[in-house]
Amino acid sequence: MGTEGLIRAPRKRLEQDGWASGAVNTDPHQIHVESTCISILALRGQRGLELDQAVRALLSLQNPDGSWPAFAGDEPEGCWATALATMALLSAGCESAALASGIRWLLDAKGREANWFWRWKFQTVDKSVQFDPAKYGWSWVGGTTSWVIPTAFSVIALRQIRKRGIDRSAAVIERIEMGVSMLLDRMCPGGGWNAGNGRAFGVPYSAHIDATAIALLALAGHEKEPGVQTSLAWLVNRLPGCPSPYSLAWGTLALAAYRDVSREVAKTLGRTTKKLAALIEGATGADEPCTVAVCALALDAAEGDNVFEVRA
């Protein structure tokens, strides 16, 4: 099944032309920004009415401050999904005022460690978590600490913006560099990334495949960093036994970005691509819209078209 067939098969499209989440305990009639953005990315090569309608639906959800909510009807302060929305608009060739305001929001959004009070608190009073609060990224929602996945997606979005020449300002470069330093600082001791910190209360946390893969995508081009090498080795060892199509797809996307690093990475990429294709063919857990779209993107990446890979 090709990418177009894969993404259209379990459509779950809404009358408003976006995609619902499909996850348990979510409204099946509500546009979900993450699912819609990932689906737009997967359909970026299939120009036509369906893609245009999805882009219009995404634009209709933008908040006045330039951000995007997690879903239609959510609080208007915006969240991490703004980075995905920015990438989706870029992939669809929608370089508009909406994109410009989304970029401004990304540049202004910071984890609360960026505030002097919180840096002081983490350095002097609250030492239950162990990270450098001077290195901050982006949070899931405003007013909270930086997290790995929002930071990684925001770094990727800004790197794409810079590479395309849309914005090469010092502010963009500074936020990219700060985001990279935050990701490297919050690795788990054995390599890879958890959702937030690598260690807390003196206990090392275990890494997660999806968080590790997305962080590695943000760090493409930093292969010489010891932490990146350790994390890539962790992913190569953990990914072959992964039973989840969603995590397997993100892992495949990451390996595709690093396939030239070593023969082992390239070999593991081949194995995981075959396993992912088999899971999709058997419809094993790959029927939720976001999962379907990520799987389609992973198969594209294995063929050399990786929408998340950005290199200087």
pLDDT of 86 above 50:
yes
Q: Are 258 and 216 in contact (CB under 8 A)?
A: yes
What is the structure's pLDDT at 134?
Answer: 80
Q: Name which of 151-165, 182-196, 243-257 the model is least confident about.
A: 182-196
Rounded to whole angstroms, the Cα distance separating 293 from 197 reads 28
Mean predicted confidence (pLDDT) in 157-172: 96
**Highest mean pLDDT, choosing among 48-57, 117-126, 183-192, 281-290:** 183-192
pLDDT at 9: 38
- pLDDT single digits (tens) 114-125: 665 555 565 565
Please report which confidence band the pLDDT of residue 132 belongs to, taking 50, 70 and 90 as the band edges.
Answer: confident
Neighbour-count burial of 304, counting CB atoms closer than 10 A to its CB (0-12 exposed, 13-18 middle, 19+ buried): exposed
pLDDT tens per residue across span 201-222: 667 778 999 999 999 999 999 9
Averaged confidence pLDDT in the chain: 86
Bridging pattern class, strands 199-200 and 203-204: antiparallel
DSSP codes, 232-297: HHHHHHHGGG---HHHHHHHHHHHHHTTTT-HHHHHHHHHHHHHHHHHHHTTSS--SHHHHHHHHH
Tell me what the mean pLDDT of segment 273-287 comes to. 79
The pLDDT-based confidence of 36 (bands split at 50, 70, 90) is very high
Please give the share of the chain, as a percent, with pLDDT higher than 70: 81
Residue 228 has pLDDT above 60, yes or no: yes
pLDDT tops 80 at residue 295: yes
pLDDT of residue 125: 57
CB-CB contact of 273 with 302 (8 Å):
yes
Place 230 in a pLDDT band, splitting at 50, 70 and 90: very high
Q: What is the mean pLDDT of residues 89-93?
A: 94
Least confident of 3-17, 182-196, 278-292: 3-17
Q: What domains can be seen in the chain, in order of their start residue? A: 3-302 (1.50.10.20)
Confidence of residue 174 (pLDDT cuts 50, 70, 90): very high
By percentage, how much of the chain surpasses pLDDT 90? 63
